[in-house]
């Protein structure tokens, strides 16, 4: 059983009856301000998820489906997004310095937030 709390650790946002979030179906999940630091979300389905202001520092999001996810103002510094699908994702204000974007499918135009450093 895995519990996800907000950044302050006060509000429980989600409970998943599993041992890992890898390959988990979290599509359409409301994870606003979620604390997901160093979380293994490899190949997870986070399509259409609400991840505004979420803390995803150093998270493994490789091969994850983040299409249409709202990642505005999320902290993705140092996250592994290699091979992730970010098509149609909202990245306004997201912090992505040091994020690994190798093979990631980015929103149309290939634009990433100004505070992004592409690490290949």
> What pLDDT does 6 receive?
87
> What pLDDT does 40 receive?
95
Residue 2 has pLDDT above 90, yes or no: no
> What pLDDT does 113 receive?
52
Dihedral pair phi/psi, residue 108, rounded to 5°: -50, 135
For 64-84, give one letter per residue: b (16+ CB within 10 A) or e. bbbbbbbbbbbbbbbbbbbbb
Helix (H/G/I), strand (E/B), else coil: 110: helix
- Of 112, 108, 97, 4, the C-alpha closest to 51 is 4
CB 38 within 8 A of CB 58: yes
How far apart are the C-alpha atoms of 28 and 17, rounded to whole Å? 17
Strands 2-5 and 12-16: antiparallel
List the chain domain ranges: 1-120
Between 116 and 19, where is the model more confident? 19
Provide the CATH number for the domain formed by 1-120 in this structure: 2.160.20.80
pLDDT digits (tens, 9 = 90+) for 59-73: 999 999 999 999 999
CB 110 within 8 A of CB 89: no
């Amino acid at each position: 059983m895995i519990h996800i709390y907000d950044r302050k650790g006060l509000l429980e946002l989600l409970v998943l009856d599993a041992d890992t979030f890898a390959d988990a179906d979290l599509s359409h999940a409301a994870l606003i301000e979620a604390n997901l630091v160093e979380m293994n979300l490899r190949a997870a389905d986070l399509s259409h998820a609400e991840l505004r202001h979420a803390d995803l520092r150093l998270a493994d999001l490789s091969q994850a489906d983040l299409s249409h996810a709202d990642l505005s103002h999320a902290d993705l510094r140092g996250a592994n997004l290699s091979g992730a699908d970010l098509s149609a994702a909202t990245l306004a204000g997201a912090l992505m310095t040091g994020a690994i974007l190798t093979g990631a499918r980015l929103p149309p135009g290939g634009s990433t937030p100004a505070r992004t450093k592409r690490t290949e």
